[in-house]
Structure 1
Amino acid sequence: MDKVVDLFLSDAATRQKWENLLSSLDLHNFSAREVDQIDHTIGLVDEDGKLVGTGSVAGNVLKYVGVINEDTQGARFNKVVTNLLQYLAEQKIYHSFVFTKAKYASSFEHLHFNLLAKTDEAAFLENGMPDVNDFLSDLPKVEDQADKKIAAIVMNANPFTLGHQHLVKMASEENDLVYVFVVANDVSLFNFNERMKLVQEGTKQFANVKVVSGGDYMVSPATFPAYFLKSPDELIDVQTSVDAAVFKNKIAPALNIARRYIGQEPISRTTHFYNVSLAHELGPDIEVITVKRLEKSGQIVTATQVRQWIKDGDLAKINKFVPESTYEFIKQNMSELQSRIEKGMNIDGN
């Protein structure tokens, strides 16, 4: 009978066996971006001591699940996934996700995972509670919402700038209700609670705007697992497709959202590609409105530039790009923000 064992990937020999098994199953991405996030890994060892299965968890996400099935009719797969869920339960984590190849979606569904999105390449599923329906039911609503013109904006706001405020203002003027979803992943210079507060402060003048957490359902490129993709180049394409599918099929119908506003991207090639792909994936059911980026003194307002000025300690320049509430927060917390950068926090990207 196969035995479940803990695998410690810090051991070179164990790591090599683990990679060899997964490579034989057509999983080849063992980059630091993927592996360093892993909190726990198990292995399935047969009676001859051969590694025949494995699975890992990173936070509440299952990763690198793979087994040599032979004639076990899914028993090995079930054993690995069940063991990972038991481990999460021991950590008091009762809600989990998996991003996997599309062809494996049904295997997870047999173990009571619910499908959130499926594209040609990938599937995104969840298990446990609270689930997407709980997330949606907790979001604020308005009277006669089904009859309203409703839009959405998804932003990281790292930090919230005058450019973000300009985008929200335009959406507010053109719709009855606007949901601003703040990406919840904590991989930014400004943590989620800080970003949430800055967005709330910077939009409080717009009575028809509701600022809410994106929860686990606004999939960030920074945290989207790419281990099962053939190359890192596929990341943006597949991540965009999954993100759009969740929004289009789960989020938008429940809230009667018919429009999504995005900022034009003249600088970042990656973000521009994301925007183009998003418009393609959401249309024609959801209208994607691209708003020209705000400029100050001939310079495009970007959060990336603000973060660079934080690194440089240039409050005068920061003041030109952000609302007063963001400026005051940065001014009061400059040393802490600079300390985060000095400790290795990445300030590039979005």
Structure 2
Amino acid sequence: MYLSDPMTMRQWKEFLESQGIQEFRSSEVEPLEETIGLFDEDDRLVATGSLAGPILKYIAVRHYDSEHSALFNRIVGELVARLADRGVAHYFVFTKPRYIASFEHVGFTCLARVERGGLLESGMPGIDTYLEHVRDLGGWQASAAIVMNANPFTLGHRRLVEVAAHDNEHVYVFVVHENRSLFATDERLRLVREGVADLKNVTVVDGGDYLIGFAAFPAYFIPSSKDVIDYQTRLDATLFRDWFVPALGITHRYVGQEPYSSTTQAYNQALKDVLEPRTKVTVIERRQVGQEPISASRVRRLIAQGDVDGLEDLVPPTTKIFIQDHLAQLQMRI
């Protein structure tokens, strides 16, 4: 189905709306790379599904159809086959809780479930393989953890890591894996590793497919926009609690205070609600320069302005050097 065609898009949306899916924000629809549909003898759409990278989205089957299960299996099977043609062997789906069993029946494993939705994966390598790789980085029995986007790595991030490293025998710093930031994933990993290289009890890890930033979790099946943040933050926290905490012995999770972002405040609260008392969540006050907290967004504004000198008190020398060397390239991305 070619959603660029207005008539096809209307048919697709009307069908999904008839199946209870009402959310078609650009952030949900624009990432779709391919959409397929099954039609009856009267050319009416009876089932559909889409792909956005390794994520299966907008899967729906006409409720009253007697072949509901068979149609569901055909749609999912075809999407998986098309991923295989692309060389993608590991994929995810986010869905309403009542449909989790249907996906489990066709080979998916539920990674996390909250009141409003669930996250499942299938294919290889899975989360066990990822966590085994992280464990192989060292034999620590207990660790603290920090998850950061670091877009880019600032002295605020550095202070958060310093506090955790001082108070714990070992610290994992997970860098969110996604390339929609100004700094690409490999660049952010490099800057974090360089920025904490002197802290010998700190291990910097690529978040892989599992730590991608809660805001990236699809939420097209959540009927109320006010519930989206609650669903996304709690699903992210539950995934961390159920898999990362036991596999890596995470006893503490450190986060930065966020006075200006209600979304981040909600996430910090979700972490506390979900992780404690098993894993203690510690909120660290933000480091300030010039009566304003150090933030990556503040650094990005200076990059846009070409003000490299203004970065002096905001980022480690390694980050400043990288920005100086790649300023023109970074400005072209903005």
TM-score using structure 2 length = 0.97
The total of aligned residue pairs comes to: 333
| 1:219–1:243 contact (8 Å) kept in structure 2 | no
Counterpart of 2:67 in 1: which secondary structure? coil
Counterpart of 1:74 in 2: which secondary structure? helix
In the TM superposition, what is the alpha-carbon distance from 1:223 to its structure 2 partner? 1.8
Query: Mind listing any 5+ residue stretches in structure 1 that lack a counterpart?
Result: 1-6, 342-350
Rate the CA distance shift 1:307–1:142 in 2: closer, same or farther, 3 A: closer
In the TM superposition, what is the alpha-carbon distance from 1:154 to its structure 2 partner? 0.1
Q: Does 1:116 align with 2:111?
A: yes
- Aligned-partner Cα distance in 2 for 1:12–1:53: 19
| 1:185–1:223 contact (8 Å) kept in structure 2 | no
After the TM superposition, which residues 22-41 of structure 1 pair with which residues of structure 2 at under 5 Å, given as runs? 22-41=16-35
Q: Which residue of the other structure, out of 158, 165, 168, is the alignment partner of 2:161?
A: 168
Opposite residue 14 of structure 2, the aligned amino acid is: N
- Aligned-partner Cα distance in 1 for 2:158–2:229: 26
Q: Does 1:46 align with 2:40?
A: yes
Percent sequence identity is 44
- Aligned-partner Cα distance in 2 for 1:233–1:185: 25
In the TM superposition, what is the alpha-carbon distance from 1:217 to its structure 2 partner? 0.9
Equivalence for 1:250: 243
RMSD: 1.2
Opposite residue 67 of structure 1, the aligned amino acid is: V
After the TM superposition, which residues 114-153 of structure 1 pair with which residues of structure 2 at under 5 Å, given as runs? 114-141=109-136, 145-146=140-141, 148=142, 150-153=143-146
Deviations 1:25-78 (A, max 9, x none): 110111111111000000011122110000000000000000014222511111
| 1:160–1:199 contact (8 Å) kept in structure 2 | yes
- Aligned-partner Cα distance in 1 for 2:80–2:49: 11
Equivalence for 2:286: 293
Opposite residue 76 of structure 2, the aligned amino acid is: V
Opposite residue 93 of structure 1, the aligned amino acid is: V
Counterpart of 1:210 in 2: which secondary structure? strand
Rate the CA distance shift 1:143–1:90 in 2: closer, same or farther, 3 A: closer
- Aligned-partner Cα distance in 2 for 1:142–1:218: 18
Rate the CA distance shift 1:73–1:270 in 2: closer, same or farther, 3 A: closer
| 2:215–2:232 contact (8 Å) kept in structure 1 | no
Deviations 1:201-250 (A, max 9, x none): 00111101000011111141342112111133322211111111110001
Rate the CA distance shift 1:238–1:317 in 2: closer, same or farther, 3 A: same
- Aligned-partner Cα distance in 2 for 1:228–1:219: 19
Query: Mind listing any 5+ residue stretches in structure 2 that lack a counterpart?
Result: none
| 2:36–2:49 contact (8 Å) kept in structure 1 | yes
Q: Which residue of the other structure, out of 61, 66, 69, is the alignment partner of 1:71?
A: 66
Counterpart of 2:277 in 1: which secondary structure? coil
Equivalence for 1:234: 227
In the TM superposition, what is the alpha-carbon distance from 1:140 to its structure 2 partner? 4.4
Q: Which residue of the other structure, out of 94, 99, 102, is the alignment partner of 2:94?
A: 99
Equivalence for 1:201: 194
- Aligned-partner Cα distance in 2 for 1:299–1:39: 41
Q: Does 1:86 align with 2:81?
A: yes
Counterpart of 1:116 in 2: which secondary structure? strand
Equivalence for 2:272: 279
- Aligned-partner Cα distance in 2 for 1:142–1:193: 18
TM-score using structure 1 length = 0.93
- Aligned-partner Cα distance in 2 for 1:319–1:233: 39
